[in-house]
Amino acid sequence: MKIQRREALGAIMLTGAGASLVTAATTQTAQAQQSADTLQRVRDRGELRIGTPPGEPWFYKDQRSGEWKGIGWGAGVAIAQELGVKPVAVETTWGTAVAGLQAGQFDVLFAMDATPQRALAIDFPIQPMFYYALGVLARDGLAAKSWSELDKPDVRIGVVLGTSPDRELTMRLANAKLERFPNIDEVGAAFVSGRVDAISLFHPALVMLRSRVKRGTVLLPDPIRSAATSAGVRRDVDKSWRDWVGVAIHSLYESGQIQKIYEEFLTFRGIDPKEAPALLREQWSRT
């Protein structure tokens, strides 16, 4: 009996040791996958999974065809072509995009701003994808080449509460009257009704708003206040994917292809690209 008990105990110990080895191997495999080069996995899969949070002009899903369009999607298609893989849309939201990248639900999200808070959780290439400027949609008859021309007590400027334009204009404009609204739809309604003389947003959003309200002029007052956007990727130990995406988006910018993608989307939405400030900051002096 003692021998049988000793054998049984030995079997249990061996089983436990085996389980520990399996657990350790599984953990090592998971860690290896986590640190694996995303670039190689994209190539092996034959697909580039692109996060697509709806919002014009970045990502727009045509409800009739089911096809995605927009700056972010167009950039993804161009980069997938460079890799020789298929672009695949993975629907997400701006609020959950960081978690989606961390979980490996998609490989990249284009037109994502590199904020300090996001950079604590995911990686961004050093190279900017393109630039946008803080501008205004001004009512007909309100011509302003500079911010100082707008900084007058009789000028009412609508902003979305708590946004970057709200914070920027609060610091910069001491005399203009800022009217704050909870969302872009309400500030647009205020502009249409004449309750504000202008709306301040970053210029691609102003272009889309101008196409909806059918009035006003998009202006980039001097001095132009610009910001760069980028592409979010999962934080891997191997930085090959982050670095390659940076080179790729820089190429799109320098070649003018990112501007072409933007203009194609504007045309698709019935907007004359000549009436919209460019994404290339070198062209802003000519717009």
What superfamily would CATH give domain 132-219?
Answer: Periplasmic binding protein-like II (3.40.190.10)
Q: Give me the CATH code for the 38-130+228-286 domain, please.
A: 3.40.190.10
Task: Phi first, then psi: give them for residue 53, nearest 5 degrees.
Answer: -80, 120
Q: Do domains 38-130+228-286 and 132-219 have the same CATH topology?
A: yes
CA distance 223 to 99: 37
Q: What ranges do the domains of the chain cover?
A: 38-130+228-286, 132-219
Peptide bond preceding 223 in cis form (omega within 30 of 0): yes
**Cα separation values, 192 from 74, 81, 176, 183, 212, Å:** 32, 42, 19, 15, 10
| Residue pLDDT tens, the chain, 287 long | 444 444 443 443 334 444 444 444 443 443 444 445 899 999 999 999 999 998 899 999 998 899 999 999 999 999 999 999 999 999 999 889 999 999 999 999 999 989 898 999 999 999 999 999 999 999 999 989 999 999 999 999 999 998 889 988 999 999 999 999 998 889 999 999 999 999 999 999 999 999 999 999 999 999 998 889 999 999 999 999 999 999 999 999 999 999 999 999 999 999 999 989 999 999 886 44
Alpha helix stretches (DSSP H) within the chain? 2-35, 38-45, 71-83, 97-102, 116-119, 147-150, 164-172, 184-193, 203-213, 240-254, 257-268
Alpha helix stretches (DSSP H) within 71-163? 71-83, 97-102, 116-119, 147-150
Q: Encoding tokens for residue 282?
A: 């070198």
Q: How far from chain centre, in Å, is Cα 78? A: 16
